[in-house]
Amino acid sequence: MNTMEEHIVCYLDILGYKGLVNKYGSDAEKATELMEAFENIDSFLKQQLEIKDEILHRVFEKVQLIILSDSILITIPISRYSNELNGVPKEFDELLAYYYYLFFVRYVYIQVIIKTGHFCRGAIVKGAHFDKKFQDGSGNRFIFSPALINAYQLQDKAVYPRIIFDDSIYKLITDLYDLIDKEYRKGVSDTIRHRMPFIDHTGIRCFDIFFDLPNREQYMSKGKDLLDWLSIMKTKIYDQLDENRVKPEIIEKYIYLINYFNNKVQLCNLDSNLLIQLNKLQF
């Protein structure tokens, strides 16, 4: 029996999407605006293919992005991404490939917030996944995926706006990390092993979307985009709190997000003005 190729599968659910649909109804112009927001993500994918980085190119050639209503599916096969001629351990190249994949997941998550004002919950898993076009040149696809079912069920348990980091993907990363020499256990490999996954205050391992948030000293250098994202994220959280002020079950989800947000601001010694002050909200 031939077995399906294993993939890393990320399933994201856009929270509050039903309200977005009900708000705009059958307005084709609004639907087009939403589509254009997601086209930015597609454009980002294509831009990565133009960068002269062999591992990066291999990754984004194989990444599959599918958006259906409030569901976003991002997959990549677990296969050989290493270049045996570059003298770098193949395990390091594999970690680099998965780092690029997770970086893209983070980019999608942030773009959804920026363009729609809504947040996502999700899960990242490793498992069997079959995805194929019906015929050459056709845009129609067939998906048969135990991994997708697992990711969907796990994100449903996430409850809060967070992305659960399944044990299967965590083991894949830690096993690769343990196989590389100490000289390579820094930079990207250290980030994907120790900073991308984190245990939140409920005891669940999640994907830290602000894994590379800089300290105060790096404000005006490489961290500028991240700080812009934080500022936008703060505004969108306030918007969601205001819109759902008589819905305690939704407010509870955003209290979780506020705790995460404020904790990151404080840990990274960022400007205290970024902190979300619940006692200043006018409910």
Q: Is the pLDDT of residue 220 over 50?
A: no
Residue boundaries of the structural domains of the chain: 6-212, 214-283
Question: What separation in angstroms does the CA of 44 have from each of 105, 136, 138, 149?
Answer: 12, 24, 23, 27
Measured distance CA(238)–CA(278) in Å, rounded: 9
Among 110-124, 211-225, 259-273, the range scoring the smallest mean pLDDT is 211-225
Name the one residue in this structure whose structure tokens are 């809504």. 118
User: Could you report the per-residue pLDDT of 116-129, keeping only the tens digit for each?
Assistant: 889 999 999 999 99
What pLDDT score does 126 carry?
96
Of residues 103, 90, 154, the one with CA closest to residue 126: 154
Select the CATH number that applies to the domain covering 6-212 from these four: 3.40.50.1470, 3.20.20.30, 3.30.70.1230, 3.40.50.1580: 3.30.70.1230
User: Could you report the per-residue pLDDT of 50-102, keeping only the tens digit for each?
Assistant: 888 888 888 999 999 999 888 999 999 997 776 665 667 888 889 999 999 99
Question: Bridge-partner residues for 206, per DSSP?
Answer: 164, 198
Is-contact 270 176, C-beta < 8 A?
no
The two tokens of residue 234 are: 């703060």
What pLDDT score does 26 carry?
81
Measured distance CA(73)–CA(83) in Å, rounded: 28
Average of per-residue pLDDT values in the chain: 87
Of residues 151, 220, 109, the one with CA closest to residue 9: 151
Residue 36 CA to its chain's centroid (Å): 19
What pTM value is reported for the model?
0.91
Residues 6+ apart with CB under 8 A from 9: 73, 74, 75, 124, 125, 126, 127, 129, 145, 147, 148, 150, 151
Q: Is the pLDDT of residue 216 over 60?
A: no
AA identity, residue 184: Y
Q: Is the pLDDT of residue 135 over 80?
A: no
User: Could you report the per-residue pLDDT of 271-282, keeping only the tens digit for each?
Assistant: 888 999 877 665
What pLDDT score does 4 carry?
85
What pLDDT score does 278 carry?
78
Q: How do 120-128 and 163-165 pair as beta strands? A: parallel
The two tokens of residue 8 are: 């890393």
